Structure 1
Amino acid sequence: MDNTAEALWRHAQAAPDSVALRDDAGVSWTYGTLRDRAGALAASLREAGIGPGDRVLLVAPAVPEFAVAYYGIHAAGAIAVTANTMSTAHELHYVGQDAGVALVLGWIQIGPAPAETAARLNVPYWPMTTGMPDLAARTGPDDPHPTGGDDTAVILYTSGTTGRPKGAQLTHGNLNACAAMIRRAHEVTAADHCLSALPLFHVYGQACVLNTVIHTGASLSLLPRFTPEGMLALLARDKPTFMAGVPTMWNALLRAAGGHRPADFAGLRHAVSGGASLPGEVMYAFQEHFGCAVLEGYGLTETTGAGTAHVTGRPRRPGTVGAALPGCEITVRDTDGAELPDGEVGEIHISGPVVMKGYWNRPDATAEVLRDGRLRTGDLGARDADGDLRIVGRKKELVIRGGYNVYPTEVEEVLYQHPDIVEAAVIGVPDDHYGEEVAAAIAVRDGAELTGDDLRRWAKQRLSAYKVPHLITIVDQLPKGPTGKILKRAISPALFEGRR
């Protein structure tokens, strides 16, 4: 069986009392309990007429109840459409409408946006509460619904620099392959315990962490909202063997660790880093302070978060993101698609069982990035003679702020809705803490008295917090080419100095 929920059922049968998940309050969920609640949700979905191929919008933070809903949706044969908990009702409506969801599941503590979205879409809304007590007395199916490896399991919305967000379809085969690759690369066993503060709605936390843990039969401690103090407390309490995060987290932990020494983290084997490039000095400082290796990796939503990794027992080269994961192939190609020799910079292509099925209802967009089974990533890099990949830049204008993807066109579309703005351009500016900060250069109408603070307050009502431009400069006009197109490459980061 290819259904991703099958691993949960298998481990619950073999070791029902083994701990699968722990929350930040110390409450443990065994494999048996997690399976029972997920099965009960699957039964509820079926009674509501939701089954194979139907889409369910899931909006929840990194809590055990996310896993109940996620695997329950899969056990019913349905498709999980996971969305950012910081999304506004406007953003959720777009995702829900585009995916054609039949139901909205929302964590009750995140606010009214999920319920408002369900009402606007005219579909049922089921609130998710701590412990999911309404499922405790229910009986679920004996086994998850049979699915094929090419059946869509999840739709994750992402986009490039143009157009609206697109739904990347990841299959049950994609998710299982990702878990198997990471399990093998990092030598994860059922005896391991992972700690993560990554959001589970994102491909990294969902596919690379949660699914790998459940696939293996290991355990996972979840921190719903990252703080260095909270992460350090869980490190001391749960004594994980490895943890997963993004560079901003490792930076923050280094600053907060204070008098801690490597002996305080005995048993911590490694930290897996992704989402953005990790500076070499941070890697070395973290290893010295925490006594564990930092293993970088590279992947995209469209590759189930997987592609390359520094692996256990192999020399790590700072500035690289490791070699292709087992089963994946990484090639660097020129603009015509011809493969380039080692050392030459070109566009990175990824092939293998983790490459997405395609974009939901977007055949043209799918054909643009998928060629002969290879995904054109839009990222530029070079591979060395040992197969290690170095990322040198992005063809896309994507901004990665603290591990979150920010798409300039989406932000610009909102900025242009402001009555005082006549021109807007959003770019990424290097930032010591977040890796990149979202910056907006704008031109306003004559006589307008718009300030950066005014605009930020206005934007926060329409955009998730991490998408709001934190660096804003007002100019007479933006640079343009002969056709009148705004030239972002002519906007220098220096323009935003002193705007922090």
Structure 2
Amino acid sequence: MSNLASNLVATASAHPSAVAIKLDDVEVSFGALEVLSQNIATLLVEMGVGRGDRVALILPNIPQMAFIYYGVLRHGAVVVPLNPLLKGREVAYHLVDSGAKLVFAWEGVLAEAQSGADQAGKDGATVDVIPVDGAAFMQRVAAAEPTPGLVEVDGSATAVLLYTSGTTGRPKGADLSHDNLRRNTEISRDLMGIKVGEVLFGGLPFFHIFGQTCALNAAVLTGATVTLLPRFEPGKALEIIERDGVTVFEGVPTMYIAMLRHSAVSQTNLGSLRVAVSGGSALPVEVLREFERVFEADLLEGYGLSETSPIVSFNRVGDVRKPGSIGTPVEGVEVRMLDTDGADVPQGEVGELSVRGHCVMKGYWNNSEATAAAIPDGWFRTGDLARFDEDGAIFIVDRKKDVILRGAYNVYPREVEEVLYEHPAVAEAAVVGAADELHGEEVVAVVGLKAEYVPADDDGRRALSDEILAFAKERLAAYKYPRRVVLVDQLPKGPTGKILKREITV
């Protein structure tokens, strides 16, 4: 069966009483998850949703997200997961672009969801909104007669439309098939060694591909438990690790930084943790080393994007550690480094990381022009600049669009950020380009400080800023070091905790 929801059917049959989803004191077994997804399929029929129709989910990481997601898939419809932080105007764009017929909206965002549906209606769309509001919603789901079985779909059929963050324009819907997601879920299980009964940390949003594939779908495939944290808070994350015996932690670098800086980390029993995985953005080498020392668990870095389901490459347990590397391509996936003409660059030189294989999306939904630009010759252009070393390990240099052109030199922000993270006062850093009359662009570092290093006054801030600048100048070539260091309380972040450089103004 090609339908991704067949994983839930199989696991519910083999382990019906095992806990699938946990949110504090609420636990949902695999057997219950299967029945609830059947009820959702019945509800979709009642709402006039057919095979291939798009259904939007505007939900945080709550148990309802899991069974609605699988209910939509088993019905042969398409999941369109949206960020609950979107405003009505943004919701309307996604609904119109995807052609969604129905929205499941959490009660906390119901007003914006309804506003979006109403605005979409002005463009000729008819979108019904179902409030996911606790007891009333659960009563409605329970009243629906379960629809056993699955709608058979071809493996190439669209399962999920995952909208990109829109860093280079309006968001585009990455068209991910059942085969894309099923194969990547299996790879996620194998790379992390996830087994029945293990406990995965569910703090990455399920509307994002990392959390969706590597936590929710991987747990459903294997019979593991996902313990949810709807909104990341480092103290609560540490509490969940100890309380629920988390064995696999999946996060982005800012999550690991926040936990390492939290006062409770030294009092938390972290002994259950077997492995941690980082993705979403570059993991500073200093953070990797500190995490492994404090948590006494391997921290493995991988690489992927929404358009690649997501995993492209990974550092395997037992491989020779190469800090700063995103590992080697996973099974069935090929990677090349290409120049602007689409030719391979020599080993060791920097080119655009390009991908081919089972993980690559079908294309951008209803956007043939963007699809042709991203996949001009069967190879998906990621927009990331990278190089191979002599062993075939991949090292990301930077985002293509983030490269700073200072005079005649390319400055790769990640290289500068790695140096900044070595300074004892730096908790987080982002290096950006600022317009400059002489050089075209100038290198600017925006830095968030560890709490114990925050200066008491402006004189102290100026002195620390100068100290960090001198620290970087000592360690970087003359064209690379920041000419300005801006100290901030915290850097802007997206829903997964990824630093948003596009929102930094200097």
Superposed pair shares fold, TM > 0.5: yes
Question: Following superposition of structure 1 onto structure 2, how do residues 56-95 of structure 1 map, counting pairs within 5 Å?
Answer: 56-95=55-94
Counterpart contact for 2:241–2:272, Cα < 8 Å = no
Counterpart contact for 2:158–2:176, Cα < 8 Å = yes
Q: State yes or no: 1:127 paired with 2:126.
A: no
* Aligned-pair CA distance for 1:27: 1.0
Q: Residue 391 of structure 1 aligns to a residue in which SS?
A: strand
Q: TM-score, with normalisation over the residues of structure 1?
A: 0.79
* Aligned-pair CA distance for 1:139: 2.7
Q: Residue 381 of structure 1 aligns to a residue in which SS?
A: strand
Counterpart contact for 2:238–2:264, Cα < 8 Å = no
Counterpart contact for 1:169–1:359, Cα < 8 Å = yes
* Aligned-pair CA distance for 1:315: 2.2
Aligned length: 423
| Aligned equivalent of 2:195 | 189
Q: 2:371 aligns with which of 360, 366, 371?
A: 366
Q: Distance in 1 between matches of 2:265 and 2:128?
A: 51
Post-superposition CA distance 1:29-63 (Å, at most 9, x none)? 10011111111011110122102111111100011
Q: Residue 2 of structure 2 aligns to a residue in which SS?
A: coil
- Percent sequence identity over aligned pairs: 40
State the one-letter code of the partner of 2:276.
A
Counterpart contact for 1:55–1:103, Cα < 8 Å = yes
Q: State yes or no: 1:335 paired with 2:334.
A: no
* Aligned-pair CA distance for 1:218: 1.3
| Aligned equivalent of 1:497 | 486
Q: Distance in 2 between matches of 1:438 and 1:130?
A: 44
CA RMSD for the aligned pairs?
2.6
| Aligned equivalent of 2:261 | 255
| Aligned equivalent of 1:15 | 15
* Aligned-pair CA distance for 1:247: 0.7
Unaligned runs of 5+ in 1: 400-426, 442-489
* Aligned-pair CA distance for 1:178: 0.7
Counterpart contact for 1:250–1:286, Cα < 8 Å = yes
Question: Following superposition of structure 1 onto structure 2, how do residues 270-281 of structure 1 map, counting pairs within 5 Å?
Answer: 270-281=275-286
Post-superposition CA distance 1:254-300 (Å, at most 9, x none)? 111546378x2223111111111111111111111111011111111
Counterpart contact for 1:183–1:216, Cα < 8 Å = yes
| Aligned equivalent of 1:116 | 115
Post-superposition CA distance 1:101-126 (Å, at most 9, x none)? 10111011235111221233342110
| Aligned equivalent of 1:295 | 300
Post-superposition CA distance 1:73-125 (Å, at most 9, x none)? 11111111111111111111111111111011101123511122123334211
Q: Distance in 2 between matches of 1:348 and 1:393?
A: 10
* Aligned-pair CA distance for 1:163: 3.2
| Aligned equivalent of 1:150 | 156
Counterpart contact for 1:43–1:139, Cα < 8 Å = yes
Q: State yes or no: 1:2 paired with 2:2.
A: yes
Q: 1:354 aligns with which of 356, 359, 365?
A: 359
Q: Distance in 2 between matches of 1:434 and 1:267?
A: 27
Closer, same or farther: CA 229–385 of 1 in aligned 2, 3 Å: same
Q: Distance in 2 between matches of 1:119 and 1:440?
A: 40
* Aligned-pair CA distance for 1:227: 0.6
State the one-letter code of the partner of 2:326.
V
Unaligned runs of 5+ in 2: 122-126, 405-412, 421-425, 436-478, 490-506
Q: Residue 189 of structure 2 aligns to a residue in which SS?
A: helix
* Aligned-pair CA distance for 1:397: 4.2
Post-superposition CA distance 1:135-166 (Å, at most 9, x none)? 12433222121111110111111166543211
Q: Residue 170 of structure 1 aligns to a residue in which SS?
A: strand
Post-superposition CA distance 1:418-470 (Å, at most 9, x none)? xxxxxxxxx999695555489999xxxxxxxxxxxxxxxxxxxxxxxxxxxxx
Q: Distance in 1 between matches of 2:240 and 2:376?
A: 44
Counterpart contact for 1:248–1:435, Cα < 8 Å = no
Counterpart contact for 1:61–1:200, Cα < 8 Å = yes
Counterpart contact for 1:21–1:220, Cα < 8 Å = yes
Counterpart contact for 1:8–1:215, Cα < 8 Å = yes
Post-superposition CA distance 1:304-346 (Å, at most 9, x none)? 1211111122122111111111221111112221223321110
Counterpart contact for 1:65–1:130, Cα < 8 Å = no
Q: Distance in 1 between matches of 2:434 and 2:163?
A: 23
Counterpart contact for 2:90–2:116, Cα < 8 Å = no
* Aligned-pair CA distance for 1:185: 1.4
* Aligned-pair CA distance for 1:498: 5.4
Closer, same or farther: CA 440–107 of 1 in aligned 2, 3 Å: farther
